[in-house]
Each structure stands twice: as C-alpha cells, then as structure tokens.
Amino acid sequence: VTDLMLLIGRLVICIGIGILYNYVFTGGVPQLNSELPQLSYKIVPIVVIGSYFITGAFFGVYAMAVDTMFLSF
C-alpha cells in the first residue's frame, strides 16, 4: 500500500510541475512576461522526466523510513 501511495505522490508532483512550468512559460502570468525569456521549443517532457527522477530520490528516503518502521514493529 505504501509503495502505491508513494508512486501516486510522485506522479502528482511530476504532473503538477509540468503543468505549472507550461503555464508560466507560455505567458500565463502577465507580471512575469517581461522577465522570462521566450522559449523557441517546448522542454516540458524533459522537465517532467527530470522531476520524476528527483522525486524518486527524495521519496526513496520516505520509503526507507516506512520500511524501517515496519521492521521495528
């Protein structure tokens, strides 16, 4: 059950980061349009895949803590 919840958490974070990245860099926030560069290509898949690996590293710590608690119990 814990592994499923951690996987769902990773996916929610990655999809959320992808949507937020796409929203900000396509001009969704008018206050930031003058400060952000215009991208000539979409790198959203790279950002989503990168965030998946980064969350994997952080969620690995949580998985180890949960396993330790179950072993101690």
Q: DSSP letters along 44-68, please?
A: HHHHHHHHHHHHHHHHHHHHHHHHH
Per-residue pLDDT reduced to its tens digit, 8-37: 988 998 889 888 888 877 777 777 777 777
Distance, in Å, from the CA atom of 28 to the CA atom of 53, rounded to the nearest integer, reads 26
Does pTM top 0.75 for this prediction? no
| pLDDT higher at 2 or 66 | 66
